[in-house]
Structure 1
Amino acid sequence: MASAHSPLSRDDRRTELREFLRSRRARVSPADVGMPDGGRRRTPGLRREEVAVLAGVGVSWYTWLEQGRDIKVSEQVLDAIARVLLLDSAERAHLYRLAGLNPPQAPSAPSVAASPEVRRLLDAWSPRPGYIRDRHWNFTAVNDAARVVFGYRESDHNCLVAFFTNVRYRVLHRHWAETAPDVAAAFRADAARYPDDPEFGRIASDLAAVSPEFAELWVLHDVAEHTSAVKAVDHPEAGMMIFDATLLPLPEHPGHHLILHNPRPGTETQQRLETLMRQHSLVVPHPG
């Protein structure tokens, strides 16, 4: 039996697919999908034949699918079955995986304000820096520690633009020149996820007009993806601080990410950070 953290074998996946489809079919009544009841049924829910007809596939083919046989499936057919079985987005993605396909990427949400729950998490992360950005890298929330440590201003509305145009951030960042190519490459990779979104091009064009460094990097067409990074800040009040940054997607808002910075052990960053926060009259929580 596969563990919770190991991938399912092909046989296990077929077994899981069979049981999943049967359980989803059993919970949908004919009335739920606009069909007459048809009298007493031996088992609850829709019959295989009814699912097949409503999804526009052959009865034998659907039976083989539910039996876990080795047959080819398409995204269109799985979507049709998902609609008939009234699957939500998580169940639809699960069906794709069990059928051996990658789930379609969730459509990116427009920029939305951080929820109260995420804001509380961001505030609780202090005195460690943290912020939230949308798919265009616009800030939707920045905690006080991030403003003090990285020099973000109230006028900084976009993470990419701030990196290349905020002079204070640039001076504080110990390895700015080495990091800049990766930052531009990561933004291009994100832009490629949404080829029909003109906002990425507008941001890049406007930034290239005011930042020669970004303009030179952008025309290289390099791409990179990162879920973590190391940030070294040479702060005039606190000295050298080194952070491990982790980028966490927010599933309820596709395209949005929570970026949290944790002091690197053995660098005295935690102590320097706490002292800096006290100097700026920001509360530093104590354990216990």
Structure 2
Amino acid sequence: MAIPRLGDYLRSRRAQVTPREVGLPEDGQRRVPGLRREEVAMLARISVDYYLRLEQGRERRPSPQVLEALSDALLLDDDGRLHLYRVAGMTPLPRRESRAERTDPQLLAMAELWDRTPAVILGRAYDVLAANALGRAVFAHLQPGTNLLLAIFLDPSVRSFYADWETAAANVVAGFHFLEGARPHDPRIQEVLRTATAQSPEFADLWRRRDVRGKSAAAKVLHHPEVGELTLRMQTFDVRSAPGQQLIVYHAQEGTPTADALRLLGSLAVSRPAHENPAPRRTS
């Protein structure tokens, strides 16, 4: 039965959450690891008796709202939240997304070690969350704080940056359809969609075609204002620690003019004074 499994899961997860993680004082007199039952109940805004019945398997019909509250109280990630619903025998509600997204510091630190590999981290609505030094040097129009889709359609300089702007535009719209289908209630996705539709007839026409595809391996030809033409291969990786985020990595074949140009851009990025670096812009 699902309910005993629910109780086991709730007990195991509250044992893994410290009071400090949820903003509660640590009194130093705890007989059990993690949170007490009454603390979980308080955080989830349910009665202690009701929570106890859940752990003991005496409550067999927890509502989706209760499961959402428990998911938040126990700091479950997307996988943990999905498992909570499964052991309760229920289908998850559409995930409520916050507007603010953060980049995993360890992921960004790793990307900064790639001195010959441009890398950009995109959020669930194609917001540029971060880029390594070479990524910022290559994609001056995609500084952290901009939105990829809106930049492509609303920033005039981007049209000359992509050798094949029409294909780049069609691909980003098809990718955004993929994102919107996975998270149709996400407020940031809907905000970007409204802005692009209102301000770009070209976007609106492409959106009505309903082409859908996620980002995949592809070749890009770019016209960089400092080093000229760049031919880059692109690979896309889902960020497991932050579902919805994507790590986009670009590379050039060794011995090519593009590889030499990336090395030059890397040295320029290191030597350029901070005040000369492109300022972050928000396209929204």
Q: Which of the five TM-score ranges fits, normalised by the shorter chain? A: 0.5 to 0.7
Q: Which amino acid aligns with 2:195?
A: I
Question: Given the alignment, which residue of 110, 121, 129 partners 1:121?
Answer: 110
Alpha-carbon spacing, 1:237–1:161, altered in 2? closer, same or farther (3 Å)? same
| 1:24-173 alignment, distance < 5 Å | 32=39, 53-55=49-51, 62-63=57-58, 75-76=64-65, 78=67, 82=70, 87-90=74-77, 91-112=80-101, 114=103, 116-150=105-139, 152=141, 157-166=146-155, 169-173=158-162
Letter in 1 for 2:199: L
How far residue 275 of structure 1 moved from its aligned partner, in angstroms, is 1.4
1:39 maps to none
The separation in 2 between residues aligned to 1:283 and 1:25, in whole angstroms, is: 46
Q: 1:231 to 1:185 in 2, by over 3 A?
A: same
Instruction: Give how far 1:159 is off.
Output: 0.8
| Identity in percent | 26
State whether residues 130 and 143 of structure 2, in contact with CA within 8 Å, keep that contact through their aligned partners in structure 1: no
Shift of 1:15: 8.3
Asked whether 1:260 is paired with 2:239, we answer no
Partner deviation per Cα, 1:99-153 (whole Å, 9 max, x = no partner): 4444445432323564654442332233212223344433232334234444536
Q: What are structure 2's unaligned runs of at least 5 residues?
A: 16-31, 271-284
Query: Which of these residues, 186, 189, 192, is aligned with residue 200 of structure 1?
Result: 192
* CA distance, structure 2, for counterparts of residue 135 and residue 16 of structure 1: 32
Give unpaired runs (5+ residues) of structure 1: 1-10, 36-49, 66-71
- Relative to structure 1, the CA distance from residue 96 to residue 273 in structure 2 (aligned partners, 3 Å threshold; closer, same or farther) is farther
| Partners of 1:239 and 1:92 in 2: CA distance | 43
> What TM-score comes out, normalization by structure 2 length?
0.59
Deviation at 1:96, TM superposition (A): 1.4
- How far the C-alpha of 1:246 sits from its partner, in A, is 3.0
Q: Residue in 1 aligned with 2:9? A: 20
1:22-73 CA-to-partner distances (Å, cap 9, x unmatched) read: 65699675665789xxxxxxxxxxxxxx97x5159799x93496xxxxxx87
Instruction: Report the counterpart of residue 231 of structure 2 in structure 1.
Output: 240
Structure 1's 154 and 102: CA in aligned 2 closer, same or farther, altered over 3 A?
same
For the structure 1 residues 128 and 134, does the alpha-carbon distance in structure 2 shift closer, same or farther, using more than 3 Å as the test? same
The Cα shift of 1:204 comes to: 1.3
CA contact (8 A) 2:197 2:203 kept: no
Pairs aligned (count): 239
Deviation readout 1:162-211 (Å, 9 max, x if unpaired): 22345554445455433433322333454562365662344213531xxx
Alpha carbons 1:227, 1:247 under 8 Å: kept: no
Pairs within 5 Å for 1:165-244: 165-166=154-155, 169-191=158-180, 193-194=184-185, 199-208=191-200, 212-220=201-209, 222=210, 224-235=212-223, 237=228, 239-244=230-235
Q: Which has the bigger relative contact order, CA under 8 A and spacing at least 6?
A: 2
- Does structure 1 conserve the Cα–Cα contact (< 8 Å) formed by 2:119 and 2:135? yes
TM superposition shift of 1:160: 0.9
- Which structure: larger Rg? 1
Give 1:223 deviation, angstroms.
5.5
Secondary structure at 1:110 match in 2: coil
